[in-house]
Amino acid sequence: MLTGHRTWEFINRPSIITTGTVGGPFEANGSIPEAFDTLHEDMWIKQDSFEKAQQKMLEEACQIAIKKSPIEKENVEFFIAGDLINQITPTSFAAKTVGTPYLGVFSACATSMESLALAATIINSGGANYILTGASSHNAAAEKQFRYPTEYGGQKPPTAQWTVTGAGCALVAKQGNGPYVTSATIGKIVDMGMTDPFNMGGAMAAAAADTIEAHLQDRNIDPSYYDLIITGDLGHIGREVSLDYMHERNIDINPDQYVDCGLTIYREGQPVLSGASGPACSAIVTYGHFLKQMAEGKLKRILMVATGSLHSPLSVNQKDPIPCIAHAVSIESGSDNE
């Protein structure tokens, strides 16, 4: 059901029945290693390229989610996922292994919630019973495509962020015991005229604020409805800028209630500059960390706002401004009466 201008409310309450999360060695040394089902000891994942390593991690995350579930792989009707690499190649190659009808999506680091929103929409409308959805990224693959190969040793400014190596998947079902996907607000392109690809958090901040404002207005709720409002990967700079934007719009969010996946996954002292990024960032932290807190009864309602910087090497070389987007999905635990 469409609520307001940009929000779908899911009256049939699609359920996230299982998840799968995979990470690399840098993530193993982060602040939430318990959020991962599998952690690898090397960046190569026993593959001969970083792109193949990324593909392997996504395949593993899918396999883990299915293995945890009460169903067989053949019962999964669709696979919806994406990544950062040209033509979402790691995801498409992983889809070959998964062997399920496939919808490839791209919203850069907002891909995790775009794919979850689409999965919930299809299931809510009766178009499927089980959908596997996820996102992945690899630090070295992203560096090679968007900046310089890591072997180059290029220096970065303090505004830059560290791409997460990993993958996160969720199996969404028509029926289940929760947590439930209750709504999704689809982002629109917000372009603040910024051209610096090393300041993605600053570029994406306005998109996050715009989607949060639209979500609250469409659902006629205030921020206190949620235990946490979680952004994807704004990092230190983007988080502060987005709070300023929301203050200007009279959106009263408690800073303690407003957290960022890019500031959650790594520990203090890791050289990640402004924080983490990458499609895997929000996927892993949501599916591996915050949903675990929901299962433990520590959280009841969260709004996950994944943010994406939609630039490319081509657009950066042509000095174009960076278009950004944010997709929000509300996830709630408990019964229909709660």
Reply yes or no on whether the pLDDT at 337 is more than 50. Answer: no
My answer on whether 160 and 261 are in the same domain is no
pLDDT of residue 221: 96
pLDDT of residue 189: 97
pLDDT band at 191 (very low <50, low <70, confident <90, very high): very high
| Mean pLDDT across 186-193 | 95
pLDDT of residue 222: 94
Reply yes or no on whether the pLDDT at 338 is more than 60. Answer: no
The answer to whether position 211 is within a domain reads: yes
Nearest to 37 by CA among 132, 169, 139, 131: 169
The answer to whether position 254 is within a domain reads: yes
My answer on whether 203 and 269 are in the same domain is yes
Number of domains in the chain: 2
CA 37 from centre of chain: 17
pLDDT of residue 336: 44
My answer on whether 106 and 200 are in the same domain is no
> Which range is least confidently modeled, 30-44, 165-179, 322-336?
322-336
What one-letter code names the amino acid at 122? Answer: I
Reply yes or no on whether the pLDDT at 203 is more than 70. Answer: yes
Reply yes or no on whether the pLDDT at 153 is more than 80. Answer: no
More confident position, 24 or 314:
24
Residue pLDDT, tens place only, 122-139: 999 999 999 999 999 999
The answer to whether position 338 is within a domain reads: no
My answer on whether 11 and 157 are in the same domain is yes
My answer on whether 197 and 299 are in the same domain is yes
My answer on whether 163 and 277 are in the same domain is no
My answer on whether 193 and 44 are in the same domain is no
Residue 66's CATH number: 3.40.47.40
Secondary structure of the chain as H, E, C letters = CEECCCEEECCCCCEEEEEEEEECHHHHCCCCHHHCCEECCCCCCCCCCHHHHHHHHHHHHHHHHHHHCCCCHHHCCEEEEECCCHHHHHHHHHHHHHCCCEEECCCHHHHHHHHHHHHHHHHHCCCCCEEEEEEEECHHHHHHHHCCCHHHCCCCCCCCCEECCEEEEEEEECCCCCCEEEEEECCCCECCCCCCCCCHHHHHHHHHHHHHHHHHHHHCCCHHHCCEEEECCCHHHHHHHHHHHHHHCCCCCCHHHEEEHHHCCCCCCCCCCCCEECHHHHHHHHHHHHHHHHHCCCCCEEEEEEEEECCCHHHHHCCCCCCEEEEEEEEECCCCCC
Reply yes or no on whether the pLDDT at 151 is more than 90. Answer: no
| Mean pLDDT across 303-309 | 97
The answer to whether position 195 is within a domain reads: yes
pLDDT of residue 148: 67
Domain boundary among 173, 203, 237: 173
The answer to whether position 139 is within a domain reads: yes
pLDDT of residue 316: 87
Reply yes or no on whether the pLDDT at 64 is more than 80. Answer: yes
The answer to whether position 45 is within a domain reads: yes
> Mean pLDDT for the chain?
94
How long a stretch of residues is the chain?
A: 338
Domain boundary among 117, 152, 173: 173
My answer on whether 187 and 321 are in the same domain is yes
My answer on whether 38 and 164 are in the same domain is yes
My answer on whether 127 and 219 are in the same domain is no
Distance CA 261, CA 230 (A): 7
Beta carbons of 166 and 27 less than 8 angstroms apart: yes
Domain boundary among 173, 203, 232: 173
Of the chain, the percentage scoring pLDDT greater than 70 comes to 98
Domain assignment of residue 66, given as a range:
2-173
The radius of gyration computed from the CA coordinates of the chain, to the nearest angstrom, equals 18
The answer to whether position 337 is within a domain reads: no
The answer to whether position 188 is within a domain reads: yes
My answer on whether 46 and 82 are in the same domain is yes
My answer on whether 135 and 224 are in the same domain is no
| Mean pLDDT across 69-97 | 96
Longest Cα separation, the chain: 56
